Amino acid sequence: MPSLIPLGPKWSHLSPAKFIVSASDTRFDRQIRFAAMGEQGQARLQSARVLLVGTGALGGVLAQNLVRAGVGELILCDRDIVELSNLPRQVLFEDRHAAAKIPKATAALETLARIGGPTKLRAEACHVDAENLPELADGVQLVLDGTDNLATRYLINDWCVAEDTPWVYGGVVGSGGLVLPILPGQSACLRCIFPDPPPAGSLPTCDSAGVIAPAVGTIASMQAGAALRILSSARGKGTAESPTHAPGMTPKLLQIDVWTGSLLTVDATRRPGCPTCDEGNFEFLHAAATRDPVVLCGRNTVQISGGPTKPDLGAIAQRSAAFADDVQNLGVLLRITDSGIVLTLFPDGRALVEGTDEVDRARALYDRYLGA
């Protein structure tokens, strides 16, 4: 078959080995040619570590953008498992992941690893809370919000402002959503704009209002654009570079709707009296990590946190076989079916109870099998 690009004598001397090196060198050629990024920006990006909280809808697009761009290290956290209803918009997952009901963080890592490139990937199938966030975010240059709940976002905001680390908020429901890059000390934090979390159940969710993939892709792409700019820009502390995050960047709150085509931009200036970035009150970070059950958005599922000791999954599998409808010991997970409800138990004692949104019912089932 003739090549579309004529290879004249100039190229014929190249050995295959040299071609491989050359191909490797060109991976990031187009984004290095983008003047605002350049070689220096690419080098900064490739030395950066990023924490991504949530690898589903927004998180999947974010992760793919960052890995394809060549970020140095990406830590993937997600507490959930892959479901069939995720597939229309959660780009890292496939039918086989949903059929096997594997943790989203694990499935995300598998898909991202196949892209190749220099990014070091780490998957953590865990619920991010005030107890484990400092360890998960240790040494990161940026935190990305791919979560589906406000409690985690207020926690991320506290940690990032306290640690002077940028983060990018994103939220999507129906056909639109919000994006807000947050540069601590320079621009509004989450609580400058939304001082307190609204009462539970007062906002539409993907459960009540649904969600479509173009809205997810648009919001996540705006987040990813901000992320690339922050990571490829000078990061001041401890360097001889500009002592600011992302010099020249003026974060704004964006509200986008892909159905109506509307776009609203609101200045994101810091608010005097903000409890977090003005008064240094990090109440979400300093609150004891809650062990209360959590009803997951749109999943007819309740999450129960584990206790201080890790369970013996093998022993529970043996004991449960006598009275459960079905027990599957998958090594890293234990799946128990009881009266149409499926309990997925993780090694840290955390469980997802699928088939109910009643906290008491889920808690009772958990206690039945863990003997708590």
The footprint of Zn ion (CB under 5 A) covers 189, 191-192, 274, 276-277
List 206, 274, 277, 297, catalytic entry: 206
Q: Note whether 103 and 81 are within 8 A (CB).
A: yes
CB of 275 to Zn ion, least distance (A): 8
Cβ of residue 226: shortest distance to Zn ion, in angstroms?
17
Nearer to Zn ion, 223 or 276 (CB): 276
* Of residues 41 and 184, the one with the C-beta less far from Zn ion: 184
Query: In angstroms, rounded to a whole number, what is the distance separating the alpha carbons of residues 180 and 237?
Result: 22
Euclidean distance between CA atoms 52 and 32, whole angstroms = 24
Q: How far is the CB of 189 from Zn ion (least distance, A)?
A: 3
CB nearer Zn ion, residue 281 or residue 329: 281
144 and 223 Cβ atoms separated by less than 8 Å: yes
Nearest to 168 by CA among 153, 155, 158: 153
User: CB-wise, 127 or 191, nearer to Zn ion?
Assistant: 191
CB of 183 to Zn ion, least distance (A): 11
Q: How far is the CB of 184 from Zn ion (least distance, A)?
A: 9
Question: For 69-87, b where at least 16 C-beta lie within 10 A, e where not — what string?
Answer: bbbbbbbbbbbbbbbeebe
Task: Name 172's Cβ contacts closer than 8 Å, sequence gap at least 6.
Answer: 57, 58, 178, 206, 211, 215, 216, 219, 220
Distance separating alpha carbons of residues 201 and 279, to the nearest angstrom = 29
Question: For residues 105 and 179, which CB has a smaller minimum distance to Zn ion in the complex?
Answer: 179
Separation between Cα atoms, residue 284 and residue 159, nearest integer Å: 9
Decide whether 251 or 306 has the Cβ nearer to Zn ion: 251
> Exposure string (b/e) for 4-43, b if CB count within 10 Å is 16 or more?
eeeeeeeeeeeeeeeeeeeeeeeebeebbeeeebeeebbe
* Least spacing, CB of residue 35 vs Zn ion, in Å: 33
Q: Retrieve residue 363's tokens.
A: 């808690």
CA–CA distances in Å: residue 350 to residues 85, 200, 230, 234, 292? 22, 22, 34, 39, 11
Alpha-carbon span 144 to 154, nearest angstrom: 13
Contact 87, 93 (CB under 8 A): yes
Residue 206 annotated to the active site? yes
CB of 268 to Zn ion, least distance (A): 10
Closer by beta carbon to Zn ion, 191 or else 299? 191
Q: Which residues are catalytic?
A: 206
